[in-house]
Structure 1
Amino acid sequence: MEVLFYHLTESTLEEALPPLVEKSLERGWKVAVQTAGEERRDALDARLWTFRDDSFLPHGTDREPNAAEQPVLLTTAPESPNGATIRFLVDGAEPGPLDGYERAVFLFDGHDTAQLDAARAQWKVMKAAGHDVTYWQQGRDRRWEKKA
């Protein structure tokens, strides 16, 4: 499985996540976004409806009865009832087993020490598990640059 670490340095999660989710949907993937808490899940829920004036990302949350049918599921739990192909982990969310995913993406805020520490720890765990691990950092232009 491919595991990517995205180091946010020039934008917020709310700015960076929607285009990544959009690209995943364009590939035909179902998406799960795991947050560390309900407050962040609910904020991202609102953001995905309004991130651009001309479109929205179809999604739902794990508190809704039709969670399994959602193309993009926002959740606080490690399970993926929508059968996601890709799992985004934000704010230091702890993943459960990642079996069955094609890709896992850890997004972390480079200005938050706790998130940096959590990402470093997860890097070691994912590398030790034998996953194909890559590290990406934002450049000043907010584009992702592969660093490792």
Structure 2
Amino acid sequence: MTPVFFYQLQTQPLEVVLPKLLATSLERGWRVVVQAGSDERAEALADQLWSQDKEGFLPHGTKADGFPDLQPVWITATDENPNNANVRFYVDGAAVGDVAGLTRAVIMFDGNDTDALDAARAEWKRFRANGHEVSFWQQDDQGRWQNRAAG
């Protein structure tokens, strides 16, 4: 069963956290799909990644760029896997689909948004009831991710 990681964004926004997690994924040799809540948000995240790090570059693409099979990180608003990713990030309330066959599924949510918290709790219960290993990650005061719960 695919492990499902829940990341509660509370002290830093997605735009700060996501690039670091994507870089770590690529360092591990994983291919990634990031599924956003809308096409506009997917393009905004892709644009932000182009200018995120002046010293480095996070290779990625969207449907506007094409060539998904060549993209180690694919950013989309739909339930697709055109780059044969083995890790999937769900952000901005994106609908979480079937995670079977993935190395890891990551659900990132705004810890300051009551609706996002409620949705994450419902997903936690669903995945746990279906036999997935689930874990809850929260940042400490220094910005390091701490595993706060597992089930």
Name the TM-score, length of structure 2 as normaliser: 0.93
Deviation at 1:68, TM superposition (A): 2.6
Q: Partners of 1:129 and 1:79 in 2: how far apart?
A: 22
Partner of 1:110: 111
List gaps (5 residues or longer) in structure 2: none
Greater CA drift, 110-119 or 69-78: 110-119
Q: For 2:100 and 2:17, how far apart are their aligned partners in 1?
A: 25
Measure how far apart 1:129 and its partner are. Answer: 1.2
Post-superposition offset of 1:69: 2.1
SS in 2 for 1:116: helix
State the SS of the aligned residue for 2:136.
strand
Judged with a 3 Å threshold, the aligned counterparts in structure 2 of structure 1 residues 113 and 62 are, in CA distance, closer, same or farther, namely farther
Q: Which residue of 2 aligns with 1:7?
A: 8
- Partner Cα distance (1:115, 1:68) in 2: 32
CA contact (8 A) 1:92 1:119 kept: no
Whole-Å Cα distance in 2 between the matches of residues 127 and 63 of structure 1? 36
Sequence identity (%):
49
- Runs of 5+ consecutive residues of structure 1 not aligned to the other structure: none
CA distances 1:88-133 after superposition (whole Å, capped 9, x unpaired): 0001111221112010001111112221121111111111111110
Q: Aligned with 1:147: secondary structure?
A: strand
Q: CA RMSD in A?
A: 1.1
SS at match of 2:5: strand
Q: How many residues align?
A: 148
> Which position in structure 1 is the counterpart of 2:144?
143
What residue in structure 2 maps to residue 44 of structure 1? 45
Q: Normalization by structure 1: what TM-score? A: 0.95
- Code of the residue aligned with 1:128 in structure 2: it is A
Tell me what 2:78 maps to: 77
Match of 2:99 in 1: 98
C-alpha distance in structure 2 between counterparts of 1:56 and 1:95, whole Å: 28
Superposed CA deviations along residues 40-84 of structure 1, whole A, max 9, x for unmatched, are: 111110111111110120000134431232100001111211110
SS in 1 for 2:117: helix
After superposing on structure 2, the runs of 4+ consecutive aligned residues of structure 1 that deviate more than 2 Å are: 62-65
